[in-house]
Structure 1
């Protein structure tokens, strides 16, 4: 990696600030002052800025228990973005893996690895997403069959992919879908004449929301969780 990029990857310096740090002689590589941003940093090199050893941040994979009232989009909104819940360096590099509505709570994945994100959200891989929905009205007797067949949402020309609905009680259900259409879960229940009072995402693919995470809390994914999500859909249908 070029030295100027290495500085930006391991500090809060912008590219122009990194060039300034190099020009001032405050950066050393293996004990020698290095002023060329084009210098290639190799594995094992000791890079220091103002005598502090630098290590690139690298790719990050985070799970967050999203509380209600936070926006996954980075566009201007009256709601605070979920990224503000994270206390990490270079937060601006991160993005959410898909989105949850402002009023929806639960598992959201956050990363700076675009290829990993694509693997999870690509419709081709059909990664399961599991939601717990609290409803205003009792479910009809044939709700399971309707969701298994697929539901034609208002404004759509094709029904949803088959989904699995499991009743928790007459006004609460656990729903597994393999798509991510706009407000899909709420629209699916609305097609039955019902209204979702609360919606909570419990799982994405093989990874469940950590029960120890309180709303607004996050943790880095374990290596096996990162790998299992990257392999989602290889052998069976998931979203």
Structure 2
């Protein structure tokens, strides 16, 4: 990769500005100043910008993040802070959420720069299960679990939802597992039964379970990465 392209990606700046920084003698490779923007980087090169090391990426990246309320899952939003705020990673702007959450929904978000991997999570064809903890406005009515298992017809939809598993924890707290990702699906499913979702928290995607505190993130394990696209256990 050209040095100016690498610097542009790492710092989130234009190639023109990256070239200017290189000419300003702010970039070193293996301890030596390099002023040639077209310099070809090799994987073994150690790059520093203004005395700070810049790590070269080796392959795609995969992270889990516990999203707090008030953050959006897009990488750029003029009105709200994004989940990239929590990711202290080189070229974090190149990561995207594999399955977004609403601004007021908390919990598990998977971040990656591997488009094919995230497609296996979001594509309806793969039926990747997502599990949510749901707090309801009023106690769950009798028979709702059976309705969810049979499929719910949502307002404005032509087909009912796929069978969903509903576990009652308390009269107003339930655990719901779905295998689709329709627009505001969980909230709309409960609205169709005359209830209102007060709080929504995603705790699992496929076989990947959230195990970190709000605002924290960590790399996924090799086993977690490989589990995407596999049938549920």
Pairing of 1:157-172 with structure 2 (within 5 A): 157-172=158-173
Alpha-carbon RMSD across the aligned residues, in angstroms, is 2.8
Distance in structure 2 (CA, Å) of the matches to 1:225 and 1:92: 23
Distance in structure 1 (CA, Å) of the matches to 2:29 and 2:81: 41
Give the CA deviation at 1:42.
2.9
Structure 1 unaligned regions, length at least 5: none
Equivalent position SS for 2:202: strand
Distance in structure 1 (CA, Å) of the matches to 2:7 and 2:120: 29
CA contact (8 A) 2:62 2:219 kept: yes
CA contact (8 A) 2:106 2:200 kept: yes
Deviation string, structure 1 residues 97-153 (Cα, Å, up to 9, x no partner) = 222122211111222332322221111111110001122223233222211111110
Tell me the equivalent position of 1:40: 40
Give the CA deviation at 1:33.
6.2
CA contact (8 A) 1:11 1:54 kept: no
CA 1:56 to 1:173, structure 2 compared with 1: closer, same or farther past 3 Å? same
Pairing of 1:106-185 with structure 2 (within 5 A): 106-185=107-186
TM-score (ref. length: structure 2) = 0.83
Distance in structure 1 (CA, Å) of the matches to 2:193 and 2:153: 11
Distance in structure 2 (CA, Å) of the matches to 1:70 and 1:35: 40
Distance in structure 1 (CA, Å) of the matches to 2:20 and 2:56: 19
Distance in structure 1 (CA, Å) of the matches to 2:201 and 2:49: 45
Distance in structure 1 (CA, Å) of the matches to 2:52 and 2:201: 43
CA contact (8 A) 1:126 1:237 kept: no
TM-score (ref. length: structure 1) = 0.81
CA 1:51 to 1:154, structure 2 compared with 1: closer, same or farther past 3 Å? closer
CA contact (8 A) 1:106 1:200 kept: yes
Tell me the equivalent position of 1:17: 17
Tell me the equivalent position of 1:99: 100
CA contact (8 A) 1:125 1:237 kept: no
Deviates most, 134-143 or 189-198: 134-143
CA contact (8 A) 1:96 1:108 kept: yes
Tell me the equivalent position of 1:228: 227
Give the CA deviation at 1:155.
0.8
Give the CA deviation at 1:22.
4.1
Distance in structure 1 (CA, Å) of the matches to 2:214 and 2:25: 46
